[in-house]
Amino acid sequence: MRKFPALLAICCLLGSSLLARRCALRTPERIHARPAEIFSLPQQQLQLQQLSTALQAAIRTRQFAQALAISSEITQQTPKDTAAWYNHARLLALNEQHTAALSALNIAVQLGFNQPDALLQNPELASLRSLPGFSLLLRQAGQNPAVTRTASETTTSTTPALLTEQTAIVSVRNTRWVPADFSLVTEFQAPPTHNHKRSLPQITTASPAAALVNQWIQQGSAAGFHGLLYDNRDRDHSTLQPAEFPGLAFVEYAPEARAANADYGIRPFQRFNLPTLGNASTAYVDPILWRSNPRMLLSSELHAALTAQSWYRNQMYCYPEHRDYDPDHGDMFPVNTPFWIISQGSSGSDQPFMKAILLTIAALHPDVRNELEHSGRLMEIAQWIMRRSLKFVDPAGMQYLSGRAHPVVFQEHDLDTERMVQLAHSLQPSQLPAIAKLSVISEDSATPDTDYFSGQLTEVILNTPIAVGRVYRTLKRSRSMVVDVAAEQLQIGRSPRCHWVVLQSGPDQVHIKPLNTERSRVEITVKWGPAFQVPWQPEMHSQRVDVGVFIDDGVSVSLPAIVSTLLPPCESRTYAGTQLIAVDYNSPQNSPPATDPLLFPTRRWRDEYQYTDQQLTGWIRHSPGQPPAEFNHLGQLKNTTPDGQKLLLPVEYPLSSAPGQPPELLWKPRNSQP
């Protein structure tokens, strides 16, 4: 089973700081209870990661006073963390606060610090070794047990709660923190099932698809809803009805969990031990940073990785696109992934998709569903079935290999629930498709502050085996990436064929070059280009290029793994062949798609590039209200002192965030005032 360790993906500091205030379509009701600490633990750990990142940056730049202030805040938040107190003692010693440093070291030792060699050898502690009491601390550290754990490394123990009367209650008693996954895991125990065909309740929702599933349940050939959870995360704003889906366990939250808002909106660090389908008809409605739930999740590399981690553990949610995919704003999504289902529309538009997926899972043969659950493929196959069964997909499956079958947002009128349950019920283990697993082998590199100007933002949005996301920030005329695909879960005796398909792009914008005879490794080159019309929705404009790869084993064609490349909608570039002439970052934007200010902060300047013998020598920058500034090819600012001395000044790009204004990227010579 795939695993995404949390510490491999640090949350985007920009997104976290700017979006601390969550606005929703429906204001959460106030819960009169005391929140349990465990439900706030992920946010606390995330804040600690951010503080730790800031601490390392301050130490790296030798800003020890600032580092000490950050370290002090860390010890206040984690008063029982031995490493935090030890590091705090080091910084106090560097700031020549020797008595306080010895006191901090004493706390670390009392909490279990057990590395006497570090106390003797660390040069930062040299000033403490002659102080009274240091030798005693040294002896105590040597006597402490060999293994200690910080608070964030400790996994809490719980007791799974029994599912009763279609209810699964989340509480402190069955929720534990798993630091390796950066997740809260709530555990339930499903009641035992029996093989008698009438032991599973009948579905009461009226539809031909439900009638078929009920028939199969009576015959004992369909799994039904036993052991399946439904998690509504908008406090019944757009919820299913238990009476329509008997046997389905509805997740409820205890008062101490609701008081911590554990039941509301997106919560990528919440996971369940049983298969879960959920929804949240909410969105972020800030006047500047508005976005749907999926776009919010993609605003943080950590949150996106956690969502993928849950998907690979049989957990998936449905969300409305709410303003992120309409003719006025265009296609706002930076990556196309299968980790959720996005419905066209706002509140309630997710309902048809939830019902269709639930009926599809219920229609699976018990043995097939059991195999999918144990392999972590339940939601992958649910997505595969939905896309194979769309109304316009022909029986031969040719339309399945098109962008229309794999859009970022799905339309209700394309949904064919009856076809979905029929495919699900007919599915045998030997018919399960392979998994297309992506690996990025190499890609064009770009140097920040020279090849692109985005502050701390990089070109990477997402790296998972089934979805890769990049932002086209480089100023080169094209951007290339070498990608490898492997066929996992391939049926014995079958040979895979790879189909690489441009799912959406502008005219002649993508070139796919096979690098081996099996076509399992290709070079994908995306050219710079303007917004384009989505072919199956001409009223929709996008600047995201999607390339999909399918594994065909001769019996089934897999869900595509997708490489997405988002081009900046806010930049106006001029090229002469492959040579960049000018970039206007402040160009008026008169047509969709709109610009996401978290991915593309405001930049109020225009750069005009200079060449000698076809070699870049630098550029001239024009900023409103300032004289033209000249840069060399390395991005250094050319300056002349009053006495005529020529200087080359390094330049930094700080991010400014004024209340009520979008984030803005500034530029200034390093160590000077903006």
Question: In 10 A of CB 148, how many CB atoms?
Answer: 16
Distance CA 363, CA 366 (A): 9
Nearest one of 512, 556, 546, 164 to 387, comparing CA atoms: 556
Question: Is the confidence at residue 27, as pLDDT, over 50?
Answer: no
Lowest mean pLDDT among 139-153, 154-168, 461-475, 615-629: 139-153
The full set of domains in the chain, from first to last, is 6-27+155-431 (no CATH), 37-152 (1.25.40.10), 435-566 (2.60.40), 572-669 (no CATH)
More confident residue, 16 or 580: 580
The whole-number pLDDT of residue 672 equals: 55
Query: CB-based contacts of 379: which residues, under 8 Å, 6+ apart?
Result: 275, 277, 311, 314, 315, 316
β-bridge mates for residue 640, sequence order: 646
Kindly report, residue by residue over 608-665, the tens digit of the pLDDT: 999 999 999 999 999 999 999 999 999 999 999 888 899 999 999 999 988 889 999 9
pTM of the model: 0.88
Nearest one of 662, 534, 531 to 592, comparing CA atoms: 531
| CA 554 vs CA 498, 558, 634: distances in Å | 11, 11, 52
Q: Give the CA angle between residues 301, 332, 508 to the nearest 5°.
A: 100
Instruction: DSSP letter for 252, please.
Output: E
Q: Find the farthest-apart pair of alpha carbons in the chain and give their distance in angstroms, rounded.
A: 95
Within a 13 Å sphere around the CA of 213, how many CA atoms are in the beta-carbon half? 34
The whole-number pLDDT of residue 587 equals: 79
Kindly report, residue by residue over 72-92, the tens digit of the pLDDT: 999 999 999 999 999 999 999
Torsion angle (degrees, nearest 10) of CA 187, 38, 264, 270: -40
Distance CA 611, CA 38 (A): 59
Pick the most confident of 51-60, 348-357, 393-402. Answer: 348-357
| CA 474 vs CA 536, 655, 659: distances in Å | 29, 19, 30
pLDDT interval class at 510 (50, 70, 90): very high
Beta-sheet pairing, 270-272 with 183-186: parallel
Q: Which amino acid is at 199?
A: S
β-bridge mates for residue 631, sequence order: 619, 637
Within a 13 Å sphere around the CA of 149, how many CA atoms are in the beta-carbon half? 7
Distance CA 395, CA 383 (A): 17
| Percent of the chain that is helix, strand, coil (3-state, to 5) | 30, 25, 45
Kindly report, residue by residue over 393-444, the tens digit of the pLDDT: 998 878 999 999 999 999 999 999 999 999 999 999 999 999 999 999 999 9
Distance CA 304, CA 461 (A): 9
Kindly report, residue by residue over 242-292, the tens digit of the pLDDT: 989 989 999 999 999 999 999 999 999 999 999 999 999 999 999 999 999
Residue by residue, DSSP assigns 165-228 as TTEEEE-GGGEEEEGGGTEEEE-EEPPPP-S-TTSSPPP-S-SHHHHHHHHHHHHT-S-TTTT-
**To which residue do tokens 């200087």 refer?**
647
Distance CA 424, CA 363 (A): 6
Within a 13 Å sphere around the CA of 634, how many CA atoms are in the beta-carbon half? 5
| CA 204 vs CA 353, 358, 359: distances in Å | 17, 13, 12
The whole-number pLDDT of residue 154 equals: 52
More confident residue, 359 or 150: 359
Q: Give the CA angle between residues 20, 26, 30 to the nearest 5°.
A: 75
Question: Is the confidence at residue 194, as pLDDT, over 80?
Answer: no
